[in-house]
Chain A
Amino acid sequence: MKVLVALKRVADPDNANKVKIAAGGAAVDTTGLEWKPNPFDEYALEAALRLTENGKAPKQRLGEVVVVTLGPKEVEQTLRAALATGADRAIRVDVTDDQLDGRLVAKALQAIVAAEKPDVVLMGKQAVDGDSNQVGQRLAELLDWPMATFAATIKEEDGALLVGREVDGGVLTLRVKLPALVTVDLRIVAPHSVFSKVTEAGFKYNDGVRFAPLPAIMAAKKKPLDVKTLAELVPGAALTTRYLKFERPAQRAAGVKVKDVSELVEKLANVAKVI
């Protein structure tokens, strides 16, 4: 099985409250925040690795995992990290962040898929900077592929994936025939979430994503990394989403500390009047 994983780097999501709004609201300023892989995309990579191994021998890849991202030269760091954890090859689409919107990213990935012909495209359900949640769905439509978004579980079958999706009312299961696109939710990295055809039933993964050992980090520097341009993938690419300004949302002020449950109930009943 060949899996293409789309990755994005984002400003450290654990410090998202430190983003600043530039004077006049022209831009979001993330100076001082470290770049991190979008957590959901890291989970997608972990799912791709699990789908191309038997679990017991994680160094033995039974298929190919190709990672792709769009961005300036410095995003290659994100790709190298993905290669170190087990991906085979990487592709960077050379472009700056301000030249992209979700519509263009999906079109660029469509061209990559046409060239790479993977069986599965995996990515996070959303990037936690723009919080847009659209590229996977758009790409599936452009490819005329079936999709399963917000995946919590994936089980490989003959020529298909059985995917458990996190939906508002519970877990909805879809069977998608390959080639197919899957966007992943956070529970995809739980110990029993992903099974390739050769994973033993009952095999238990470590919770979360795997980390690369030092030799793998060194070896990853020699793995192939191709660079393409947005112009060759999407001729005449033009932005259609334009941000006019940004604002800091109204902040909530801290309230009061109550000394015990009785005082809490009294306040809720007589001051806040919500019970």
Chain B
Amino acid sequence: MANVLVVAELSEDGKLKKSTLSAIAFARQALPTVGGTLAIVVLGASTATATAELASYGAAKIIAVEDPSLAQYTAEHYAPSVAAAAQGVSLVVATATSFGKDLLPRVAARLDAAYAGDCSGVSAEGGKLVYKRPMFAGNASGFCTLDTPVQVATVRQSEFTPAEPSGGSSPVEKVAKAAVGAAAARVQFVGLEAVKSARPELTEAKVVVSGGRALKEKFFEVMEPLADAVGAAIGASRAAVDAGYAPGDFQVGQTGKIVAPQLYVAVGISGAIQHIAGMKSSKVIVAINKDPEAPIFQIADYGLVADLFQAVPALTAELKKRHG
């Protein structure tokens, strides 16, 4: 075993996504076991900004794959180049964002490699990497080894503190895009309906306020002022998303976004298993619900049994006072 490859994720404008730094943190933990060096592969229509941002994270090299066909991410165009960059590499890692979760299993199949998805930890046993994975909606942690020459993993962002720069300046190696398969000609990017928001990203916010189905059509009317009072990101339970009160990319839970902010405020959320799986690593959890028996109170540090339509505006006003 030797060498680790991290796959960087870029934003639409070619900047490095901060989520990548969690994959680098994972790679640094795995490197003593794997041996060799760290490389980072960056793909896009233009990679200069991101490679500059990545230069001081201790990579032996940054592989830059630039091609107009990589301007918009599609797995069919990206996977062959990532697999090519994995030559001589024993571990390929990305963060488990919608990008990483889409791309890395495809890369793994291309390399006939076993895959550990959404890892919350990594350790070593007898010279082998042991991947820790949340399963059963976070009700069990599995510890697995992968027995293929190349191993592929994605990393749960909330469990890995973003890597800090370690200095130095990694050399950039420009590489041509690898030949793609027939699949690439049969996929076409049509558009991204992005949710524009001045609020922090859900997965990176220090404070997250989430609303449940109880908010009904007043979801935004109640939640936005609360979020703005503390500079929070807004999340939602699956029930609220299912009912159409909140957009899909707000969903916090086992199959939505996994968050671990300093403060998580659950408003009108009963606390279904699938929801708790997505937020139970938060440092402090507050629950506001009128049902004193709601399961959310079993994991909340502070519970307030109250009608949310009165409690939340009152809380918003108090917080505004404190934050001036």
* B69 proximal to A (CB < 8 A): no
Residues 135 to 153 of chain A near chain B (Cβ within 8 Å) = 135-150, 152
Q: Which residues of chain B are within 8 angstroms of A162 by Cβ–Cβ distance?
A: 190
User: Of B115, B195, B263, B304, which is within 8 A of A103 by CB?
Assistant: B115
What band does the interface of chain A fall in when counting residues whose beta carbon is under 8 Å from B? 35 or more
Q: Which residues of chain A are within 8 angstroms of B319 by Cβ–Cβ distance?
A: 265, 275
* A229 proximal to B (CB < 8 A): no
> Which of B118, B193, B302 gathers most chain A CB within 10 Å?
B302
Please, what's the 1-or-0 string for B264-296, where 1 marks a CB less than 8 Å from any CB in chain A? 000000001110000010011110000000000
Q: Which residues of chain A are within 8 angstroms of B230 by Cβ–Cβ distance?
A: 275
Please, what's the 1-or-0 string for A12-56, where 1 marks a CB less than 8 Å from any CB in chain B? 011111010100000010000000000010000000000000000
Q: Which residues of chain A are within 8 angstroms of B104 by Cβ–Cβ distance?
A: 137
Binds A, one of B143-151, B161-169, B214-222: B143-151
A241-B192 in contact given A174-B187, A274-B262 (Cβ < 8 Å): no
Residues 300 to 321 of chain B near chain A (Cβ within 8 Å) = 300-306, 311, 314-315, 318-319
Q: Which residues of chain B are within 8 angstroms of A207 by Cβ–Cβ distance?
A: 242
Binds B, one of A68-76, A78-86, A244-252: A244-252
Distance in Å: Cβ of B278 to nearest Cβ of chain A:
11
Distance in Å: Cβ of A5 to nearest Cβ of chain B:
19
> Which of B108, B192, B255, B274 gathers most chain A CB within 10 Å?
B255
* B263:A244 contact, CB within 8 angstroms: no
A14-B297 in contact given A150-B98, A249-B139 (Cβ < 8 Å): no
A17-B182 in contact given A133-B117, A138-B108 (Cβ < 8 Å): no
* A134:B254 contact, CB within 8 angstroms: no
* A275:B322 contact, CB within 8 angstroms: yes
Binds B, one of A59-67, A165-173, A197-205, A218-226: A165-173
Sample of 10 A–B contacts (CB below 8 Å): A126-B255, A131-B133, A134-B115, A165-B98, A185-B255, A244-B144, A247-B141, A262-B318, A265-B322, A275-B322
Other A-B contacts than A103-B148, A133-B117, A246-B140, 20 sampled, CB-CB below 8 A, are: A126-B255, A128-B255, A132-B117, A137-B105, A144-B182, A148-B187, A149-B101, A168-B97, A170-B195, A171-B248, A173-B190, A176-B187, A186-B242, A246-B135, A246-B143, A249-B138, A261-B306, A261-B314, A274-B207, A275-B230
Q: Could you tell me which A residues sit within 8 Å of B by CB distance?
A: 11, 13-17, 19, 21, 28, 40, 101-103, 106, 125-126, 128-150, 152, 162, 164-177, 180, 185-187, 190, 207, 239-249, 252, 254-258, 260-262, 264-265, 267-269, 272, 274-275
Q: Could you tell me which B residues sit within 8 Å of A by CB distance?
A: 74-76, 79, 97-99, 101-110, 112-118, 125, 130, 133-148, 181-184, 186-195, 201, 203, 207, 230, 238, 241-242, 244, 247-249, 254-255, 257, 262-263, 272-274, 280, 283-286, 297-306, 311, 314-315, 318-319, 322
